[in-house]
Structure 1
Amino acid sequence: MHILFLSDNFPPEVNAPASRTFEHCREWVAAGHKVTVVTCVPNFPKGRVFAGYRNRLWQKEEMSGICVIRVWSYITANEGFARRVADYVSYMVSALAAALFVRSADVVIGTSPQFFTACAAYGIGRLKRIPFVFELRDLWPESIRVVGAMKRSLVLDRLEKLELFLYRKAALIVSVTFSFRENLAMRGIDGDKVRVVTNGLDLDRFKPRCKDQTLVERHGLAGKFVSGYIGTHGMAHRLETILEAAEILSRQPGGEKYCFLFLGDGANKEELVALAAAKRLKNILFVDSVPKEEVVKYWSLLDASIIHLKRDDLFKSVIPSKLFESMGMGIPILHGVEGESALIVERDDVGLAFQPENAEELSRRLRELCENAALWRRLSTNGLHASRRYDRRVLAAKMLQYLEDLVAGRQPKNDDL
Structure 2
Amino acid sequence: MNILYIHQYFNTYADGGSSRSYYLAKALVENGHRVEVISSHNQKKYKKSEIEGITVHYLPVYYDNRLGFSGRVYAFLKFVLKSYLLAIKMKQVDICYATSTPLTVGIIACLLKRFRHIPFYFEVRDLWPQAPIEMGVIKNKYLIKALFALENYIYTQADKIVALSPGIAQAVVTKVKDMAKVHMVPNMADCDFFEFDEESIWYGSPEKRTGKFTIAYFGAVGQVNYLESYLEVARFFQEKNLTNVEFLMIGKGSQWQYLQNKARQQGVTAMQFVPHTSKYELREILKRVDAVYISFAQLPVLETNSPNKFFDSLAAGKLCIVNTTGWIQTCIEQAGCGFYAAPDNPGQVYRKLLPYMASKQKLAKAKTAARLLAEKQFSREKLSWYFSSLFSPVAGRQANLQEPVVVGEETN
TM-score (norm 2): 0.90
Paired residue secondary structure (1:165)? helix
Deviation at 1:133, TM superposition (A): 0.7
Q: Which residue of 1 aligns with 2:408?
A: none
Q: Which residue of 2 aligns with 1:281?
A: 268
User: Amino acid of the residue matched to residue 16 of structure 2?
Assistant: V
Q: Relative to structure 1, is the Cα distance of residues 213 and 270 closer, same or farther in structure 2, using a 3 angstrom cutoff?
A: farther
Q: Which residue of 2 aligns with 1:117?
A: 105
Q: Deviations over 1:330-376 (max 9, x none)?
A: 11111222111111112211112212443222232233321232221
User: Amino acid of the residue matched to residue 29 of structure 1?
Assistant: V
Deviation at 1:61, TM superposition (A): 1.1
Deviation at 1:70, TM superposition (A): 1.3
Give the one of 169, 176, 179 matched to 2:157. 169
Pick which of 196-205 and 67-76 moved more: 67-76
Q: Which residue of 2 aligns with 1:13?
A: 15
Match status 1:404 vs 2:392: yes
Return 5+ residue gaps in structure 1 as ranges: 42-48
Task: Give matches, 1:363-402, under 5 Å.
Answer: 363-389=350-376, 390-402=378-390
Q: Relative to structure 1, is the Cα distance of residues 203 and 412 closer, same or farther in structure 2, using a 3 angstrom cutoff?
A: closer
Inter-partner Cα distance in structure 2 for 1:265 and 1:300 = 21
Match status 1:137 vs 2:125: yes
Deviation at 1:122, TM superposition (A): 1.8
Q: Deviations over 1:12-44 (max 9, x none)?
A: 43222xx00001111211121111000002xxx
Match status 1:35 vs 2:39: no
Give the one of 93, 104, 107 matched to 2:92. 104
CA contact (8 A) 1:79 1:266 kept: no
Q: Which residue of 1 aligns with 2:220?
A: 232
Paired residue secondary structure (1:403)? coil
Paired residue secondary structure (2:110)? helix
Paired residue secondary structure (1:236)? helix
Q: Which residue of 1 aligns with 2:229?
A: 241
Q: Which residue of 2 aligns with 1:309?
A: 296
CA contact (8 A) 2:386 2:399 kept: no
Q: Which residue of 2 aligns with 1:260?
A: 247
Task: Give matches, 1:90-101, under 5 Å.
Answer: 90-101=78-89
Q: Which residue of 1 aligns with 2:410?
A: none
CA contact (8 A) 2:180 2:400 kept: no
Q: Which residue of 2 aligns with 1:44?
A: none
Give the one of 185, 207, 216 matched to 1:197. 185
Q: Which residue of 1 aligns with 2:72?
A: 84
Match status 1:251 vs 2:239: yes
CA contact (8 A) 1:36 1:68 kept: yes
Pick which of 176-185 and 124-133 moved more: 124-133
Deviation at 1:157, TM superposition (A): 2.3
Q: Which residue of 2 aligns with 1:324?
A: 311
Inter-partner Cα distance in structure 2 for 1:113 and 1:363 = 35
Deviation at 1:191, TM superposition (A): 2.1
Q: Deviations over 1:307-337 (max 9, x none)?
A: 1111121122122222221111111111222
Q: Deviations over 1:184-229 (max 9, x none)?
A: 2333542221111111122221222534677x4xxxx722111010
CA contact (8 A) 2:97 2:123 kept: yes
The count of residues paired between Structure 1 and Structure 2 equals 396
Inter-partner Cα distance in structure 1 for 2:344 and 2:251 = 20
Pick which of 204-213 and 326-335 moved more: 204-213
Pick which of 285-294 and 140-149 moved more: 140-149
Paired residue secondary structure (1:8)? coil
Q: Which residue of 2 aligns with 1:45?
A: none
Inter-partner Cα distance in structure 2 for 1:232 and 1:117 = 21
CA contact (8 A) 2:231 2:263 kept: yes
User: Amino acid of the residue matched to residue 281 of structure 1?
Assistant: V
Q: Which residue of 2 aligns with 1:340?
A: 327
Pick which of 104-113 and 387-396 moved more: 387-396
Deviation at 1:410, TM superposition (A): 6.5
Q: CA RMSD in A?
A: 2.1
Paired residue secondary structure (1:413)? helix
CA contact (8 A) 2:97 2:120 kept: yes
Deviation at 1:82, TM superposition (A): 1.6
Deviation at 1:281, TM superposition (A): 0.5
Q: Relative to structure 1, is the Cα distance of residues 409 and 212 closer, same or farther in structure 2, using a 3 angstrom cutoff?
A: closer
Match status 1:3 vs 2:10: no
Pick which of 32-41 and 319-328 moved more: 319-328
Paired residue secondary structure (2:261)? helix
User: Amino acid of the residue matched to residue 5 of structure 1?
Assistant: Y
Q: Relative to structure 1, is the Cα distance of residues 409 and 341 closer, same or farther in structure 2, using a 3 angstrom cutoff?
A: closer
Inter-partner Cα distance in structure 1 for 2:388 and 2:38 = 19
CA contact (8 A) 1:338 1:356 kept: no
Paired residue secondary structure (1:187)? helix
Q: Relative to structure 1, is the Cα distance of residues 377 and 410 closer, same or farther in structure 2, using a 3 angstrom cutoff?
A: closer
CA contact (8 A) 1:405 1:412 kept: no
Inter-partner Cα distance in structure 1 for 2:277 and 2:349 = 27
User: Amino acid of the residue matched to residue 104 of structure 1?
Assistant: Q
Percent identical pairs in the alignment equals: 24
Paired residue secondary structure (1:365)? helix
User: Amino acid of the residue matched to residue 40 of structure 1?
Assistant: S
Q: Which residue of 2 aligns with 1:179?
A: 167
Inter-partner Cα distance in structure 2 for 1:380 and 1:411 = 34
Match status 1:208 vs 2:196: yes
TM-score (norm 1): 0.89
Q: Which residue of 1 aligns with 2:337?
A: 350
User: Amino acid of the residue matched to residue 7 of structure 1?
Assistant: H
CA contact (8 A) 2:234 2:268 kept: yes
Inter-partner Cα distance in structure 2 for 1:156 and 1:14 = 33
